[in-house]
């Protein structure tokens, strides 16, 4: 059986010796051990000028044996790498059968300090420790795109916005395929109310990621929100339509934004004067599921707005329900139109 298999990523090497060593090992291993039963050949991957293994986004049909052999070869490459990662997926009917995230291993200072920082970033009050570790990693290997991106996240959290922008820009210059750097720079632009720049960065994050990845849909959601802020309702509607028809599993963080996505989609439809479509969308809201940033007040309010704009009865009741939820704008609309 053959299944849809996807690979993409990049691995960086600190010096010529490490690069030459892994290139020789890869060449010998694929020929003598795997007997060429893997997808990539050395000439497909190794960039002698940049001292990198570069895996452009590749979509092929492979057997499970070929997929596993290919992943194991990337693990061999990662053992000698100092930065980067490789993602590998095997998919059947839209469901992930196998997934591997291959990253550098070992006790190299750059690798250890980067991993230490990643763990620290999620802990409040330890931001400076995370930056110190990232600084150590960068000082040893200043082409570490992911380290700059992670440092930018910490700087943004600390409200060091100029430093954060420098880090995100540097990360992208080092690796133009780093979807996470585009996404986080988009977050910085959104924080600073530069919605046009934010929408562009989120668009690049979408382009550089796969629909199988969480970040792809996080970027779609936020790109749609940026378009709403710009009153670009057709563009916002495009993003939220895709987001709300996606079936997220409950352990996917995007699941928590499903209801809010429906509200934003309805708002974009109202902006396009598609009031009946907006009402149908609002009927799909499931207020009792786990939510993040979902407001029942907004839900009631938008139902009222859609009915009012469509010339339908019953809008005042929705606004009254919204007022009970503390919705100030609903109170204003009720006093003016109720």
Query: Please, which residues bridge with residue 83 across strands?
Result: 12
Averaged pLDDT, 284-297: 90
Q: What's the pLDDT at 88?
A: 98
Instruction: Say whether pLDDT at 338 is over 90.
Output: no
Q: What's the pLDDT at 290?
A: 86
Q: What's the pLDDT at 116?
A: 96
Instruction: Find all residues with CB under 8 Å of 273, minimum gap 6, and list them.
Output: 309
- Average model confidence (pLDDT) for the chain? 96
Over residues 199-232, the pLDDT tens digits come to 999 999 999 999 999 999 999 999 999 999 999 9
Q: Model pTM?
A: 0.95
**Cβ atoms of residues 258 and 299 within 8 Å:** no
Q: What's the pLDDT at 122?
A: 85
Over residues 185-195, the pLDDT tens digits come to 999 999 999 99
Instruction: Say whether pLDDT at 106 is over 80.
Output: yes
Over residues 41-83, the pLDDT tens digits come to 999 999 999 999 999 999 999 999 999 999 999 999 999 999 9
């Amino acid at each position: 059986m053959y299944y849809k298999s996807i690979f993409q990523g990049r691995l960086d090497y600190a010096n010529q010796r490490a690069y030459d060593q892994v290139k020789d090992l890869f060449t010998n291993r694929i020929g003598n051990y795997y007997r060429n039963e893997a997808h990539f050949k050395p000439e497909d991957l190794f960039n002698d000028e940049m001292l990198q293994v570069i895996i452009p986004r590749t979509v092929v049909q492979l057997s499970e044996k070929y997929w596993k052999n290919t992943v194991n070869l990337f693990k061999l490459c990662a053992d000698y790498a100092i930065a980067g990662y490789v993602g590998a997926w095997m998919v059947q009917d839209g469901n992930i059968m196998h997934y591997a995230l291959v990253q550098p291993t070992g006790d190299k200072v750059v690798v250890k300090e980067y991993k230490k920082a990643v763990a620290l970033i999620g802990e409040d009050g330890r931001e400076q420790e995370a930056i110190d570790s990232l600084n150590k990693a960068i000082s040893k290997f200043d082409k570490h795109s992911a380290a700059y991106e992670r440092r930018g996240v910490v700087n943004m959290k600390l409200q060091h916005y100029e430093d954060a922008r420098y880090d995100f820009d540097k990360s992208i210059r080092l690796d133009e395929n780093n979807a996470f750097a585009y996404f986080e720079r988009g977050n910085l632009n959104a924080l600073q109310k530069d919605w046009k720049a934010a929408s562009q960065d989120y668009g690049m994050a979408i382009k550089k990621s796969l629909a199988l990845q969480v970040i792809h849909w996080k970027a779609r959601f936020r790109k749609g929100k940026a378009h709403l802020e710009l009153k670009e309702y057709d563009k916002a509607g495009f993003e939220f339509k895709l987001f709300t028809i996606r079936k997220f599993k409950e352990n996917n963080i995007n699941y928590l934004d499903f209801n809010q996505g429906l509200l934003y989609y309805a708002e974009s439809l109202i902006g396009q004067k598609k009031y009946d479509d907006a009402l149908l969308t609002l009927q799909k809201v499931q207020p009792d599921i786990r939510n993040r940033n979902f407001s029942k007040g907004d839900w009631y309010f938008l139902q009222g707005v859609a009915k009012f704009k469509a010339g339908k009865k019953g809008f005042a009741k929705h606004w009254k329900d919204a007022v009970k939820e503390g919705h100030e704008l609903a109170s204003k609309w009720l006093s003016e139109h109720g």
